[in-house]
Structure 1
Amino acid sequence: AALIAEMGHRPKLAREHFTKANSTTSLNQRIVLAFGKFEERQGNPGRARELYNNYLKRVRHPLITNAVRNIGLKKPEPLISTAREGLAEAFYDIATQLSVGSVSDLSVLYIRMALYLRPEFPLAQLLLADVHERHKKPLKAIASYNKVPESSPLRLEADVQAALNLDEIGESARAQRLLKRIIARYPRELRPVEALANMLRGRKKYKEAIPYYTRAIRLVGKPETRHWAFFYSRGICYERTGQWPKAEKDLLKALELSPERPVVLNYLGYSWVERRRNLKKAMGMIRLAVNLRPNDGYIIDSLGWAHYRLGEWSEAVKKLERAVELQPEDPIINDHLGDAYWRAGRRLEARFQWSHALAFKPEPENLILIRKKLEAGLPPLEGRRKANRSPSKIR
């Protein structure tokens, strides 16, 4: 209604409709962008900037960021200027509503109608790619991302998402090269740096990931609550490469930024237990993580394994049995329960659990250890092997 009113040269009515729409859906990027551009055309750049900045405080979006940059440089075009574009916008809005849930297949029809009416419609291409991703069709998603025009502010996000899809289909080297080219082209943009850092960490290239997390942290400047994951992820990489003091510092920083983040509480608490440091505080942190995520098998596994490391066999068994209930096909958790059974004197159950762990395809280094335990059991306590140092599965 607001767009139609503006096209009919009724700015007062248009502002009323924009204000009402924005008050009910303040996080709708399309409404904020249309309202902001309207205010700019009406000679109110300050009001436009306020609308954009209020949105960006909660959600980062390249179209809004680009709009802020362009305030005062030129008079912005309306979101739609013809009936054809208006119909395309309507189809896109319907597709957006349908794209989530069981009717997402139907959304493709509306997206394609929108693109037929308005071929240069980057948001529609991104939505089509997103639907393909949710239907596990990465090649089709990549094709849609590649159709976003080079001149569009959305091209950066399209390229990053294309790289993530390449990684998903096993083209990790190609994906990393693409992200490095994007970083070189947009050296001040955080998104591709974060994507590459996470990709490298996901591929267990911890040493290579560290400088990209460091670059991301530098780009952030003064970290806010939402930046906790950069410190947490870099802390993991430091810990996995044997740089514990740096890891501890980063994990503490992540906890400072987000004090009740279960994965951080779990990782730091468990790491302290492993090192026999701050034991009372460490166990409290792991228990808090469990309270925050009572049905997370990986975190409950960490609590059980912490009890195991402290020699509390019966409590370890209780917690690890619960973890296996929640994550029955995880090889590490099954292996941990087998170890706890053995120390508790339940040898047959231990071997049964280790056999289960083998069936779920553990990592090669764990595979060798489990096979040895099946043959000879665990050594006496004074010769106990070093525990697996992964506090919980990283997601």
Structure 2
Amino acid sequence: MRRIRMTAWVVGALAWLALVSADALATERPALPAKPPGSEQDPDAVAYYHFMLGYQHEVNNAAVEAEAEYLKALARDPNSVAIHLRLATLYHARGAHDKAQAHAEAALARDATNLQALQMLASVAVAEGRTERAIESYERIVALWPQEAQAYFSMGMLLSGLKRYDEAEQTIRRGIAVSQTTAPTGYLYLGHVLVEQKAWDRAVQAYRDALAVNPAYEPAYVGMAATLEAKGDTAQAITVLRKVLQEVNKGNREARQRLVRLLLTQKAYEPALALLREAVQESPDDVEAQLRIGLIYGEQKDYVKAVEQMRLVLALRPQELRVRDHLAYLYEEMKDFDKAIAEYRTIIQADERYSDAHLHLAYLLYRLKRNDEALPHLQKVIALNPKMTEAYLLLGLTLLQASRQEEAVAVFREGLQRNPDSADLHFNLGTAYDKMGRFGELVHEMEEAIRLDPKHADALNYLGYTYAERDMRLEDAVALIQRALAVKPQNGYYLDSLAWAYYKMGRFQEALEEMKQAVAVVPDDPVFLEHLGEIYLTQNLRGEAREAWLRSLELDPTNHKLVERFKAKGFGDPATEERVRKSQQRLSHKAL
């Protein structure tokens, strides 16, 4: 029979339902039969002896010994339904589904209405992905046992996994109708089916119906909160989760974790911290809660507390490498780079295949311009994850920073062989070609990046500015840069590009307006200030132009071209200006 893949949530739901069906037999304490194995007229004492030994082994989780004893009992009495069912349960738990099915069928051959055997056949079919076969088994169950609500629920979930939603809903509602005690469970799974269809309001109502039957049914609160979150009603989701913790069960771990996460999305750090501290009070070794507290301190930029918290977590779990990775990042934020590097290296010594540590260390070394140290870590990341785009990007950028353009080009190309649809790789390959003066290839790569991602703002801006700088295709330049600004309206670099394109077109007033905005956003970029001075000159605003250029030279006194232009415009010698002279002195001391 054709096997059909189910969605992960359906499989999870069925696993939960199994707590009250055949799957539970794999984990529950096995029940003793009402009477010894053997026929009612002539019970077999030896079979019963081996059965009891098998039962004892099963209770003690000694599955191999239990199997051996059950087989001995079965050899003595091959017609015992109870023995076949215990063996089916053992085999199902071990994943030996063919054997589990054979024993369930043997039990049914001797008792055609045995509910436990029918549930086992359905459970085996689910485990093997034979969805239609499982549905047939549940149909047999409800035909023989029409009051068996769990069978309706299980069948409904399977139908939902096949996207047969109307049938799924009808089936689950039939189960609710016959249910005496499990109606809240039925409404819960009805809610899940409706969520799968994005029928948010109906799903919320299903969870409300569950709570109308059992106001303390915690899974319905959690399901309702998740649905409200998916619907976009975060505030109401938070209200529902608070109700669970305040009125139903303050120790509900899942509700607390969800509530903390939602509070963090709202940047409600103090209420989140209060919940996490409660969790730690209840369970001091709750590493996840301890870790979250540290992460919140980091978000609040209270790095000293964050570091203390991470060290506390490491005291509880010294082998938690991801915690050490967070600690290293905190040291980076504190600009204590030596400690950050030491932590990353400790991780790598513990597990040289921990690719995140290699990547994060390489990025820090790249920022510190320690390129030769960064390179082997990036090569290791690529060896571990040959398709990781970020590793190729950072390796290429590190090589560019080291003025090894040809090698950078080779790395970007290798990355594109692995990830041909990466707009970022095309963009960075284009910047490498720009540094090498290969204009045609620069344009091609930028156009390819834009083709793959029409909203790639950096590529749009870069190509537009490139055209403007070369006094070519100026209308296209403006259009490209405006597209970039549509994505990131307050990006100072894009505003500078647009101002420069207007300047090149002779649209000086528009250029001045855009350039002033750019400098307002990024006030300490010497190139922006140089451009601003040039644009002021077009308006004959010489005093403003001179001031803009002096500010530019204060930030970058090595711009000799601007120094000469400053003199040529009759503004004097900028080296006589005290602020420029001090800037030159600072640069000299730094070089020493």
Q: TM-score range by the shorter chain?
A: 0.5 to 0.7
Q: Residue in 2 aligned with 1:370?
A: 562
Give, in angstroms, the shift of residue 136 of structure 1: 1.7
Which of residues 242, 265, 269 in structure 1 aligns to 2:437? 242
Matched, 1:274 2:462: no
Q: Residue in 2 aligned with 1:197?
A: 396
Within a 5 Å distance, the mapping from 1:112-127 to structure 2 comes to 112-127=311-326
Matched, 1:209 2:408: yes
1:353–1:276 CA distance, 2 compared to 1 (3 A): closer
Matched, 1:360 2:555: yes
1:235–1:85 CA distance, 2 compared to 1 (3 A): farther
1:350–1:113 CA distance, 2 compared to 1 (3 A): closer
Letter in 2 for 1:293: K
Letter in 2 for 1:269: G
Q: Residue in 1 aligned with 2:528?
A: 333
- Structure 2 Cα separation of the partners of residues 191 and 262 of structure 1: 18
Give, in angstroms, the shift of residue 301 of structure 1: 0.9
Give, in angstroms, the shift of residue 282 of structure 1: 2.4
- Structure 1 Cα separation of the partners of residues 562 and 556 of structure 2: 11
Give, in angstroms, the shift of residue 335 of structure 1: 0.7
Greater relative contact order (Cα < 8 A, sep 6+): 1
Does structure 2 retain, via aligned residues, the 8 Å contact 1:87–1:114?
Answer: no
- Report SS of the residue matched to 1:318: helix
Letter in 2 for 1:376: A
Q: In angstroms, what is the RMSD of aligned CA positions?
A: 3.6
1:154–1:93 CA distance, 2 compared to 1 (3 A): farther
Within a 5 Å distance, the mapping from 1:173-322 to structure 2 comes to 173-180=372-379, 183=382, 189-202=388-401, 205-221=404-420, 223=421, 227-322=422-517
- Structure 1 Cα separation of the partners of residues 386 and 541 of structure 2: 58
- TM norm structure 2: 0.46
Percentage of matched positions with identical amino acids: 26
Q: Residue in 1 aligned with 2:355?
A: 156
Which of residues 310, 319, 339 in structure 2 aligns to 1:111? 310
Q: Residue in 2 aligned with 1:55?
A: none
Give, in angstroms, the shift of residue 283 of structure 1: 1.3
Give, in angstroms, the shift of residue 170 of structure 1: 4.2
1:154–1:117 CA distance, 2 compared to 1 (3 A): farther
Does structure 2 retain, via aligned residues, the 8 Å contact 1:85–1:118?
Answer: no
**Please, which moves more after superposition, 137-146 or 101-110?**
101-110
Letter in 2 for 1:131: L
Matched, 1:343 2:538: yes
- Report SS of the residue matched to 1:136: coil
Give, in angstroms, the shift of residue 305 of structure 1: 0.7
**Please, which moves more after superposition, 298-307 or 171-180?**
171-180
Does structure 2 retain, via aligned residues, the 8 Å contact 1:88–1:113?
Answer: no
- Structure 2 Cα separation of the partners of residues 331 and 280 of structure 1: 26
1:202–1:149 CA distance, 2 compared to 1 (3 A): closer
Letter in 2 for 1:126: D
Within a 5 Å distance, the mapping from 1:11-90 to structure 2 comes to 87-90=286-289
1:105–1:198 CA distance, 2 compared to 1 (3 A): same
* Number of aligned positions between the proteins: 306
**Please, which moves more after superposition, 275-284 or 368-377?**
275-284
**Please, which moves more after superposition, 249-258 or 292-301?**
292-301
Does structure 1 retain, via aligned residues, the 8 Å contact 2:433–2:442?
Answer: yes
- Structure 2 Cα separation of the partners of residues 325 and 134 of structure 1: 26
Does structure 1 retain, via aligned residues, the 8 Å contact 2:371–2:399?
Answer: no
**Please, which moves more after superposition, 172-181 or 235-244?**
172-181
Unaligned runs of 5+ in 2: 1-15, 20-26, 29-92, 94-184, 186-217, 231-282, 571-592
Does structure 2 retain, via aligned residues, the 8 Å contact 1:88–1:114?
Answer: yes
Deviations 1:151-192 (A, max 9, x none): 748622212212222333442322234434554676565443
Does structure 1 retain, via aligned residues, the 8 Å contact 2:348–2:357?
Answer: no
Q: Residue in 1 aligned with 2:336?
A: 137
- Structure 2 Cα separation of the partners of residues 184 and 291 of structure 1: 39
